[in-house]
Every structure is written in structure tokens, then in C-alpha cells.
Amino acid sequence: MRPFMRHFSRHSVLLALFLLPFSLFAQVAESARPLSDSIPAKPALDSTITISLITCSPGQETYELYGHTAIRVSDSSNPTGIVYNYGAFDFNAPHFIWRFVLGECDYLLWAEPLEIFAIQYIDRGSWVREQVLNLTPEEATRLRDSLRTESRPENRVYRYNIFRNNCTTRARDIIEECVDGRIIYPMRHRRNTFRSILYQYTEGHPWAREGNDLLLGSDVDTLITERDEMFAPLYLMQYVDSAMIDAGRTHYRNLVRESRILIQPDETRQQASADAQPDFPLSPRVLGWIVFALGLCLAAYEAWRRRICWGVDLVFMTLQGLAGILLCFMALFSVHPAVASNWQVWVLNPIPLFFVYAVVQSDRARQRNVYHTFAAAVLIAFIILYFIIPQKFSELILPMALLLLSRAVVHLFVYRK
């Protein structure tokens, strides 16, 4: 499982950058038969069953940045236990990449021994924390049997959703379903947005954050509830720590009986893992303003010479249009959450591709093209609204908008007669 995932991540850097928000908490499923198939369900109650919520700290790879959640089930016959992991997927499934882009990707529940599950976290130096749930024998048996049933081949597949239906929310939901009564979680005074939580996980990884900001629109910038925050593994772990089970008739008990660290963090391995990751020397913000400054110098040179470099228009308009195809495709056809509310399509859209040939021909003939008047009007409107629109924009988008505006203005200046 793990070697294949590492191979996949290194050879899919661009895909991971743009689709990072939709691949959180994922692992690749092995082709072997699921372990749970060989475990017969026991109809009788087993008082030795222990069920724990497992939380794994983030790593350095793109798909490791957000940590992971799983459920461990052990009993007297298997003290080490089986780990049930909702974050697996089959990369060999038909049309996997296409369905992934469309937001129609199916994940699955995978069962494996704790020793195998723990290998990748030991290798990268992450800590793994176990919260032993305070369940009655009836609840524990019910939860164990539900996990076994869900992990069967005919039941284990589910439709993944980054915020509403991922490996963390699935673990929470099945625990809630098997408890007698209801689980009461603590309330928070500080409200978060989905984007602010993603920022916490991508701290120190500016290009991973940029991938989020390029694709996710204003819907992730609204305040969310405590339950919404539980899409993130570390948040669920914190909520579960203080959660209570309301069994009715004023009978309450803690959801967690005890907590312990299964795998200690290893700073040496963490540093080695961080050093192994390629690090682009410039942040998106610095790169964006450098490119804008260079573009401004070029525009000043063109205005001084009264001649437009048509090759620059060809490159910029092509790149703008290709980026716009990605954003518009996601907004129109993908069912991923929050991609349809992306105001950045004002700047990055496919329209330049329809005009690039005419603009280049006008440049070569030293004639004005109506496209630049239209582009200047749209870009000026976006820049004015930039500070009003309730969306956290990509750090590249403002310098990019100013750069494209400078291209439109210099054309209007040079060909003003």
C-alpha cells in the first residue's frame, strides 16, 4: 500500500497541487482480499472487546498533511487488534482520475492488522494516539459487527466528500449509530471556517495552501458548526476527548475511557521526511509579485517603444485560458463542494483562448483589438471588488489580475489612435 502511494504522489505533483483539497486522508487499497472477509461475526456478546478511535498526526507528503482517523477493534483472541480505515481507495478502479476530478470518487473501508497499519506512521515519525471508547459490551459488540459488515466487498464502498463524508466523519458516524443514547460534544467559543482549518494543516506548505485557494470558492469561508469541524482528524480527536454519552434518565458517561500514545513521535524521521520533499524556493505571493513587476517593466518598455511584443500576449493569454478551463470545468461539472462559488473565474477563464489568435494578428499589424477594452473593464471591476467579495483568494490572483490589466492598458495606450 504505502510504496505504491509514495510512487503515485511523486509522479502526480501537478494533479496533487490542484486536486489536493479533494484527496485528504487517503490511502491506496491493496489488491489482496480484505482481512475482514476471513473474520466471522460473533452473535454472542464479548465483554473483552475494546474499541478505540485512532488519530495519526500529519506527515510531509501532499496526501499526509491532514492526518488520519481510523478505528481499532481488539479482543481476547486478538489483543493487537484490527484497524478499520475509511480512507482507502482503489487507484486501479475504472476511470479513477476522471471520476476523481468530477467529485464522483468512491472510497472504501479497509481492515488490516495494527502492525501493518502502523508501518507508514513509524517510517515517517508521526505519532499515533488511541482513545479507548467507554462502551458497554452491547455497544462494543454492535460496533464491531457493524464495522465487519461495512468492510465486506459488497458494502465497503462509499462516495467520498472532503467535508461531509470522509474517513474521519465516517468513523464518527458509525460510533454514534452504535451507542445507546446520543453523544454530546463540547461547544467552542471560537468559530472556524473550512478554509481556516485547512490553513492550520497547511502551515509551512504554501504551495499546498495555494492549491486549496485556487479551487475552493467562497462557500468554505462561511462560519461552520462544531460538528462541521469534525471533518478534520485532530479536531475530532479533541471533541471526542471531552464528549459525553447521554443514555437517558440523566445518565451520562464519558465517551473516552482512557487515552494513550501508541506510536511516539520521532523528530529525526520527521526531519528526514521533510528534507526529502522538494521545496520550491519562492512562495506563491513572492512569485506572483515578481512576475507582476517584470510584466510591468515590460509594459513600460513597450509603451516607450510604441510596439507590443505579441509573443508575450500569446503566452499569457494561453496560460490564462488553460487555467480558466480548469476552474470553469470544476465549477460547472464537478460535484466537489465549494468549487462552484469561486469568484476567481473573473480572472482565470477560457475567454482569452477565443481571442488569442485575433490579438496576436492585431499586434503584428499594430492595430487595436476590442478584446483589451473588454479585459480592462472586467479586471478593473474585479480589483475594485477584491476587498469586498467574501472569499479568501489565492495569493497569486491579485498580482495576476494586475499583470493582465497592465497588458490591456499598454495595448490601449500604444494603439490609442
> What's the pLDDT tens digit per position in 318-367?
999 999 999 999 999 888 888 999 999 999 999 999 999 999 999 999 99
Average pLDDT over residues 234-255: 92
What was the pLDDT predicted at 7? 33
3-state SS record for 297-363: HHHHHHHHHCCCCHHHHHHHHHHHHHHHHHHHHHHHHCCCCCCCCCHHHHCCCCHHHHHHHHHHHHH
- How does pLDDT run across 199-208, given as a tens digit for each residue? 999 998 999 9
Under the banding of pLDDT at 50, 70 and 90, the label for residue 225 is very high
pLDDT for position 1: 36
- Angstrom distances, CA of residue 277 to CA of 10, 58, 204: 9, 14, 12
The residue with greater pLDDT, 223 or 44, is 223
Lowest-confidence pick of 34-38, 116-120, 213-217? 34-38
Distance CA 217, CA 225 (A): 19
Half-sphere exposure of 283 (CA within 13 A, CB side): 9
Query: What DSSP designation does 278 have?
Result: -
**CA-only gyration radius of the chain, Å:** 26
Contact between residue 89 and residue 99 where contact means Cβ atoms under 8 Å apart: no
Least confident of 105-119, 226-240, 271-285, 340-354: 271-285
Does the pLDDT of residue 416 top 90, yes or no?
no
- pLDDT over threshold 60, residue 102: yes
The mean predicted confidence, pLDDT, of the chain is 87
In this prediction, residue 353 carries a pLDDT of 97
| DSSP state for residue 214 in the 8-state scheme | H
* Poorest-pLDDT segment among 36-50, 239-253, 316-330: 36-50
CA 360 to chain centre: 39
pLDDT class of 271 with cuts at 50, 70, 90: confident
Q: Supply the pLDDT for residue 3.
A: 34
Could you say which DSSP state residue 268 is in? H
Q: pLDDT value at position 279?
A: 74
Closest CA to 186 of 235, 223, 139: 235
Residue-wise pLDDT tens digits, 62-74: 778 999 999 999 9
**Per-residue confidence (pLDDT) for residue 15, from 0 to 100:** 42
Q: What is the pLDDT of residue 131?
A: 98
31 has pLDDT over 50: no
Q: What is the pLDDT of residues 165-196, one digit of tens each?
A: 999 999 999 999 999 999 999 998 888 999 99
Q: Residue 188 and residue 190: Cα distance in Å, rounded? A: 6
